[in-house]
Structure 1
Amino acid sequence: MICQHSSCQAAGSEKVLFAFQVGNLPPNTIVMSTGCQGQCSSGPTVRILPEETWYCRVKVTDIPAIVEEHLKQGKPIKDKFNPRIHQFDFDDT
């Protein structure tokens, strides 16, 4: 789910949405745009379901890693986590 509210669009969410749409996604992956997800100060916001992973400040250059590591290998990219949502999901290592 990629936010397309005006604040996320100003930060480039339309390009992020397009990059996901044309990316080499795993089968049965659905890409959808959403309205505001309430994270305007940290957009573009990308939310991965069903595990509720929230990525913030996503750039087109982040998409290949999100697809390969998270969507295909099941390894979320912690340095792109939204810290407001995932405040307890960070390692000290």
Structure 2
Amino acid sequence: MEDPAGQRQVLVCQYQNCLARGSAQVLAAFQSHPVPDTSISASGCLGQCNMGPNVRVVPDEVWYCRVQPSDVPAVVEEHLQAGHAVEPLLHPRFHPKRF
């Protein structure tokens, strides 16, 4: 799924369950916070319907769940610009907490 130019992609699920939970607004929030060398794309189902809205960042392979429009500035600033995942939003299936 990596962009041919090698740039980072933010995929925001726009399938039924995520849409019902506000993913269109999440997508719009990302689109209003552009980041150089990063594309923002609507995606089909990411297969994590019970945890939506879901956002996947590739090629980083970071998955965020239950993302709200108010979370987008933190993802942009902390992850896309500073390179640090936003821990409270990490999807537990892909990023289990280590004790």
Aligned to 2:32: 22
Q: CA deviation at 1:86?
A: 1.1
Q: CA deviation at 1:7?
A: 0.4
Question: Is residue 2:6 matched to residue 1:3?
Answer: no
Question: Is residue 2:94 matched to residue 1:85?
Answer: yes
Aligned to 1:66: 75
Output the aligned Cα RMSD.
Answer: 1.0
Q: CA deviation at 1:28?
A: 1.2
Aligned to 2:52: 43
TM-score by length of 2: 0.86
TM-score by length of 1: 0.91
Letter in 2 for 1:43: G
Aligned to 2:64: 55
Higher percent of residues as strand:
2
Note the residue ranges of structure 1 that are not aligned, 5 or more in a row: none
Note the residue ranges of structure 2 that are not aligned, 5 or more in a row: 1-10
Deviations 1:1-51 (A, max 9, x none): 00000100000000000000111x321110001110000000000001111
Aligned to 1:31: 40
| Structure 1: 4+ residue segments shifted above 6 A | none
What is the number of equivalent residue pairs in this alignment? 89
Distance 1:91 1:72 in 2: 25
